[in-house]
Amino acid sequence: MSRARKLKPLLGLVAGLAFVWGTLAAATVVVNPNVIGQTITRTAIYSTGPSSVLTISTNVIAPTNAVHHLGAGLVKTVTVPAACTSTCTLAIVPDAAFTTDTTGNISLASTAVINKVLFLVWDGTKWNPSY
């Protein structure tokens, strides 16, 4: 199987996730018609733009986009964006190995792997990391 064919489902998923954070109020998005053949409607949460680099300040990060790069440090708290609902998701791209702990609003202590995206899902009380 070609590399492009293997990536096709992921590209559809990424396009769907990216749109969740887009600047339009709502729209119908074709996630990947060749693989799953469905459309979904998503409502924008807040604006994306190019991914930006977050700074860890006093063990807190304050995201403004859906995708961010993050360097080394200890993250205890992730500031919840004002428009974030109980299913809000952030994608963090580790540029260096950072760690999280459970003393703030993160449910699981973890160590980030460089260039392996760490997804954080807000459940209304805590951020739940993907690893």
pLDDT by residue (tens digit) across 43-59?
Answer: 444 444 555 677 888 89
Closest CA to 26 of 12, 45, 7, 51: 45
pTM above 0.85, yes or no: no
Rg of the chain in Å (alpha carbons) = 16
Neighbours of 97 (CB within 10 A): 12
Give the least confident one: 40-44, 55-59, 103-107.
40-44
Q: Which residues pair with 122 in a beta bridge?
A: 127
Q: Indicate if the pLDDT at residue 96 is higher than 70.
A: yes
- Integer Cα distance of 130 and 125 in angstroms: 16
